[in-house]
Amino acid sequence: MIDEFTRRSRIAYFSMEIALRPEIHTYAGGLGILAGDTVRSCADLELPVVFVTLVSRMGYLRQEIDAGGRQVEHPDPWEPDRWARRLGAKVAVVIEGRDVWIQPWLYRHRGSLGYEIPVLLLDTVLDENAPEDRDICASLYGGDDAYRLSQEIVLGIGGYRLLRSLGFDIETYHMNEGHSALLAMELLHGHRRPNGGPADHAGFDPEMARQQCVFTTHTPVEAGHDRFPYDLVMRKLDGTLDIPALKALSGPDCLNMTRLALNLSGYVNGVAKRHAEISRRLFPGYRVHAITNGVHVETWTCDSFARLYQDHFPQWRHEPEALMLADGLDDGEVWKAHRQAKLAFLDRIAAETGTRLAPDVLTLGFGRRMTGYKRLDLLFSDLDRLRTLARGQPFQVVVSGKAHPRDEGGKRIIEAIHRCRDALGGDVPVVFLPNYDMDLARSLVSGPDVWLNTPLPPLEASGTSGMKAALNGVLNLGVLDGWWIEACIDGTTGWAIGDADLGTAGDDAEDLYRKLEADVLPLFYGDRPRWIWMMKQSISKIASQFNSQRMMRRYASEAYLR
Ligand SMILES: *Cc1c(COP(=O)(O)O)cnc(C)c1O
């Protein structure tokens, strides 16, 4: 069952989360969506990659909103045996002096051209494990530091050993974020020279790991980089890893997973040009390349636009460059496709919330992880201003997003949005759709007229939801940060809020209101042909470029083939 994959796979891609399909709850947000789009593009391009992640049986979180507008969190279990098959192989890692046995599930992703990509989902629910070790792979980003470190040991060290024991012959290990960096340490153990070397640590030669490892860093936000105190590391890993060597490679004060990955990778990249620049400043002394993220066009294009593209550019799914010619599409057909997506979206909103939004009113969409730097509250910072704006030129807002269970600031934002919704009443209709996930995202990025993005620069590493919106003819109105710096031609592919120059701290809220008032709303209500022209510019310039096919061709040629 696995043999065909062990024979051909040459690259192993490790990620704490991967969004494979809506029913498989092994993802939380953007990082997992990107990993999933990577799987899908590897299948389209027939790249010899095997993916490794945790089975996350209890998922990340299912979100409900209570009557007070507060997030209520539930486990979000899924059924591995419905979608994947258990493999017989087992490996053990010693954690806290106990053997922890790991057995994988195999999920086969089949691309629409028939090529299959293997995904190994690591599981520790096994009779031979101590009860406290059985749920290590249960809750994605759940628990405390000790729990997280156990997960990262299973992912990095366990995942590496499993590939070896299954007979994979891997040339390149790609670490999607630092969570899996212990794999590089384990790789070094494998390459340890028997008598030790002159200038290194007991025979460890980091250069060996660097030849094989690729590291993609995803966030300039401090909390995004895992750090573990060494007393915890000692407790978990003494006897499993060489702790002095680990300290030499990952920092003297704590185990910094980003630093470990940086020190053991021969190719390091950020996920947009600006993010690579920021990462170079954050980690001086390392060469950080830039490969801007992309999205999988077949996955994120809604049905009505997929039909339109299929009619005019039959190869668009596997050659998204073909969408470059979308600027020549017929206006009426483009508007009809958008109208269908919008009506389907408004129907869904009515079914889920009981609120029926008006189809002819400009609709702003916003779907994001609810956390401080994403600044959803920017739009709601002056409610009187919003009311005044909407009096002449009405608009409505649809919002969705989860807060991490320990992100109190993020949860307060969700409450604040609900208070604003109630305060605005019918003046500016606001709808919050609970439980933002892959399935909801597909409607949310295709149904509105405008996609809003207001992060605090430079903290949005890339962002991908705006790329999904562009595929569906939804115009971006966004702060110049991450990918949008590369894609925004103000007044053509969408609109810019603020300035790309980090030195000039402007008033982003004021700028957002001004853009809405002077550009976005008048164009929507006053010049429909020009609006449709912008939709077509946005599709042709963005979809042809910011897709995961282009992204994976670049990883293949620049990071994997070094
Ligand atoms: C695309 C997507 C994200 C990432 O969006 P950003 O723009 O990077 O914040 C997160 N969650 C879901 C469900 C998505 O579909």
Instruction: Choose the residue to mutate in 23, 464, 472, 547 for probing ligand 1, maximizing ligand atoms within 8 Å of C-beta.
Output: 464
Cβ of 438 closer than 6 Å to ligand 1, yes or no, is yes
Q: d(Cα 327, Cα 535) in Å, to the nearest integer? A: 8
- Which atom of ligand 1 is closest in space to residue 436's alpha carbon? 13
Q: What is the bridge-based pairing of β-strands 395-400 and 430-432? A: parallel
Cβ of 465 closer than 6 Å to ligand 1, yes or no, is yes
Cβ–Cβ under 8 Å, residues 149 and 156: no
Q: What is the DSSP letter of 490?
A: B
Q: Based on the fold, state whether residues 346 and 409 are members of the same structural domain.
A: yes
- Which atom of ligand 1 is closest in space to residue 374's alpha carbon? 9
Q: d(Cα 465, Cα 469) in Å, to the nearest integer? A: 6
- Reported as a single tens digit per residue, the pLDDT across 467-505 is 999 999 999 999 999 999 999 999 999 999 998 787 666
Instruction: Choose the residue to mutate in 465, 476, 483 for probing ligand 1, maximizing ligand atoms within 8 Å of C-beta.
Output: 465
pLDDT at 201: 57
Q: What is the Å distance from ligand 1's center to 436 Cα?
A: 9
142: number of Cβ within 10 Å: 19
Instruction: Choose the residue to mutate in 24, 33, 371 for probing ligand 1, maximizing ligand atoms within 8 Å of C-beta.
Output: 33
pLDDT at 199: 43
Q: Based on the fold, state whether residues 380 and 282 are members of the same structural domain.
A: no
Q: Whose Cα sits closest to atom 3 in ligand 1?
A: 30
213 three-state secondary structure: strand
Q: Indicate yes or no: pTM above 0.85.
A: yes
Q: Whose Cα sits closest to atom 11 in ligand 1?
A: 29
Q: Based on the fold, state whether residues 303 and 253 are members of the same structural domain.
A: no
Cβ–Cβ under 8 Å, residues 458 and 500: no
Q: Whose Cα sits closest to atom 13 in ligand 1?
A: 437
pLDDT at 538: 98
Q: Based on the fold, state whether residues 225 and 310 are members of the same structural domain.
A: no
Q: Based on the fold, state whether residues 59 and 165 are members of the same structural domain.
A: yes
Q: CATH number, domain at 155? A: 3.40.50.2000
Total domain count for the chain?
A: 2
pLDDT tens across the length of the chain (562 residues)? 799 999 999 999 999 999 999 999 999 999 999 999 999 999 999 999 999 999 999 999 999 999 999 999 999 999 999 999 999 999 999 999 999 999 999 999 999 999 999 999 999 999 999 999 999 999 999 999 999 999 999 999 999 999 999 999 999 999 999 999 999 999 998 776 655 544 455 678 899 999 999 999 998 876 678 999 999 999 999 888 999 999 999 999 999 999 999 999 999 999 999 999 999 999 999 999 999 999 999 999 999 999 999 999 999 999 999 999 999 999 999 999 999 999 999 999 999 999 999 999 999 999 999 988 888 889 999 999 999 999 989 999 999 999 999 999 999 999 999 999 999 998 999 999 999 999 999 999 999 999 999 999 998 999 999 999 999 999 999 999 999 999 999 999 999 999 878 766 678 999 999 999 999 999 999 999 999 999 999 999 999 999 999 999 999 999 999 8
Q: What is the bridge-based pairing of β-strands 49-54 and 62-65? A: unpaired
Structure tokens at 100: 């922890």
Q: Based on the fold, state whether residues 350 and 370 are members of the same structural domain.
A: yes
pLDDT at 504: 63
pLDDT at 503: 63
Q: Based on the fold, state whether residues 263 and 331 are members of the same structural domain.
A: no
Q: Whose Cα sits closest to atom 4 in ligand 1?
A: 30
Structure tokens at 412: 């307060």
Cβ of 60 closer than 6 Å to ligand 1, yes or no, is no
- Reported as a single tens digit per residue, the pLDDT across 363-408 is 999 999 998 888 888 999 999 999 999 998 999 999 999 999 999 9
Structure tokens at 252: 């003297």
Q: Based on the fold, state whether residues 10 and 53 are members of the same structural domain.
A: yes
Q: What is the Å distance from ligand 1's center to 29 Cα?
A: 6
Cβ–Cβ under 8 Å, residues 214 and 174: yes
Q: What is the Å distance from ligand 1's center to 112 Cα?
A: 23
Range of the domain at 349: 299-546
Q: d(Cα 447, Cα 81) in Å, to the nearest integer? A: 34
- Reported as a single tens digit per residue, the pLDDT across 299-322 is 999 999 999 999 999 999 999 999
Q: Whose Cα sits closest to atom 1 in ligand 1?
A: 465
Q: Based on the fold, state whether residues 367 and 383 are members of the same structural domain.
A: yes
Structure tokens at 416: 């604040």
Instruction: Choose the residue to mutate in 25, 302, 366, 368 for probing ligand 1, maximizing ligand atoms within 8 Å of C-beta.
Output: 368
pLDDT at 292: 98
Q: What is the DSSP letter of 324?
A: G
Cβ of 28 closer than 6 Å to ligand 1, yes or no, is no
Q: Based on the fold, state whether residues 227 and 364 are members of the same structural domain.
A: no
Instruction: Give the residue from 43, 63, 59, 60 showing the smallest Cα distance to 51.
Output: 43
Q: Based on the fold, state whether residues 479 and 358 are members of the same structural domain.
A: yes
Q: Based on the fold, state whether residues 277 and 313 are members of the same structural domain.
A: no
Cβ–Cβ under 8 Å, residues 518 and 389: no
Cβ of 463 closer than 6 Å to ligand 1, yes or no, is yes
